Amino acid sequence: MSSKPHSHAQWSSRLAFTLAAVGSSVGLGNIWKFPYMTGESGGGAFVLVYLICILLIGLPILMSEWLLGRLGQKNPISTMSHISARLKRSPAWVLIGVAGVLGAYLILSFYSVIGGWALAFIADAASGSFETLTSDTAGSLFGGLLGDPTTLLAWHSAFMLMVILVVAGGVAGGLERAAKILMPLLAVMLIVLVGYAATTDGFADAAAWLLTPDFSKLDKDGVLAAMGHAFFTLSLGMGIMMAYGSYLSDDVNIGRTALVVVVLDTVIALLAGLAIFPVVFSNGLDAAAGPGLIFQTLPLAFGRMPGGEVFGVVFFVLLVFAAWTSGISLLEPIVEWLEEKTPMSRVGSAWVAGIATWLLGIATILSFNLWSDVAPLGMFAKFEGMTIFDLLDYATSKLMLPLTGLATIVFVGWFMGRDEVRSQLNMSDSAFSLWSFVARYIAPIGVVVVFASSL
């Protein structure tokens, strides 16, 4: 029953598919997380390791997830059980799908809280409160928000509701169409911000700091963070891209499309870095400020640039859109799974999954205020001082995503027939040999080495 091929609709066009994949990958990871992790890990060396991981690990795993999805034609769990049964491989490969659903749940719980921050800043931008900020008070708006659990809860609830309504209504298509206009606009806004940043006196220093690697500033944990972020930003190790691949028609060239997604995702992240760090440097702010970094620096930039009030509102609206399309892609696999495993309808599943995620999100909210001293694994030196939010981030980006991604690429590289993979990828001989070498050796060894050195 579960092996009916082509049991669901396919993307109307290659463009629609690419947009959905870009919608999932471009999000808070690019504009919120990448800059603050770069700031915490000392700049250029982190960026370089991240770029290498994107190219040698992220790109081949993205292609692997798509080709598995296209072969399996089902949700990630059924896809893995179907393909491994057909190839007479261990049923344990299904764990790739199971880990994905769990990871999506954990990530969405904190992703929604940060999406809520972005919503709160639309209101702040509109009320003109950016204009009075100075270098000394740059963090005041964000600090006020973080210290107020009730307001955080209200915005987290609003963001989660936006995600649930779209997933329950199955109207993601409308949002993808909106994304066709909004994603390019987000890129334009980032370019406007980089333009402003270029007028500040910190620009040259910031650009040099971002682009010149200084390996004395990067420790092993920073390398693991860079690798984990390559998975996070491309939405890998979550079954999400596998689910998307199941809608992919046979004539789409996986390699070329993956390259488009990877390049767009990377360009957006680098633009965000180029927009933010000059403001940090020219105002003497702390690059290692952590998760609040963009919420402390961008308001300052908007407060000073001509037309900043309008630009500020537009920017945070676009950021919410980018977060929304990613949030939807995170709830989708959980809902699909509930729909299939329980008698619940799609609408019921969306509400149950959404409310369960919302509840866990409360722990992240409290990590920034009432529970900021609570370190559940503090008895282990490695996790000392880590809040619940820190642990959720660690468990997903630094453990679950890389491990699931590793399993995926090992499966495709070592346990599938070469001819089948080859016909899916439809590449020239030399391109396929290169791909195979990276997929069988470079990517898996890379993940294992980074892991082993940090543990």
Footprint of ligand PFF on this chain (CB under 6 A)?
Answer: 24-25, 27-30, 104, 107, 232-233, 235, 238, 240, 326, 329-330
Asked if 404 contacts 99 with a C-beta cutoff of 8 angstroms, the reply is yes
How many other CB atoms sit within 10 Å of the CB of residue 300? 23
Q: What angle do CA 256, 70, 16 make, to 5 degrees?
A: 55
Shortest spacing between CB 25 and ligand PFF, in angstroms: 5
**Which CB atom, from 59 or from 375, has the smaller least distance to ligand PFF?**
59
Name 272's Cβ contacts closer than 8 Å, sequence gap at least 6: 30, 31, 34, 35, 190, 294
**Which CB atom, from 194 or from 262, has the smaller least distance to ligand PFF?**
262
Burial of 90 (0-12, 13-18, 19+ CB in 10 A): exposed
- Classify 445 as helix, strand or coil: helix
Residue nearest to ligand PFF (CB): 29
**Which CB atom, from 289 or from 330, has the smaller least distance to ligand PFF?**
330
The continuous run of DSSP H or E covering 246 comes out as: none
Q: Which amino acid is at 337?
A: W
**Which CB atom, from 104 or from 386, has the smaller least distance to ligand PFF?**
104
**Which CB atom, from 274 or from 305, has the smaller least distance to ligand PFF?**
274
**Which CB atom, from 100 or from 308, has the smaller least distance to ligand PFF?**
100
- DSSP state letter for 386: -
**Which CB atom, from 20 or from 125, has the smaller least distance to ligand PFF?**
20
Shortest spacing between CB 16 and ligand PFF, in angstroms: 18
Asked if 260 contacts 21 with a C-beta cutoff of 8 angstroms, the reply is no
- DSSP state letter for 86: H
Rg of the chain over Cα atoms, rounded to whole angstroms, equals 21
Distances (CA, A) of 295 to 32, 122, 298, 366: 8, 11, 6, 18
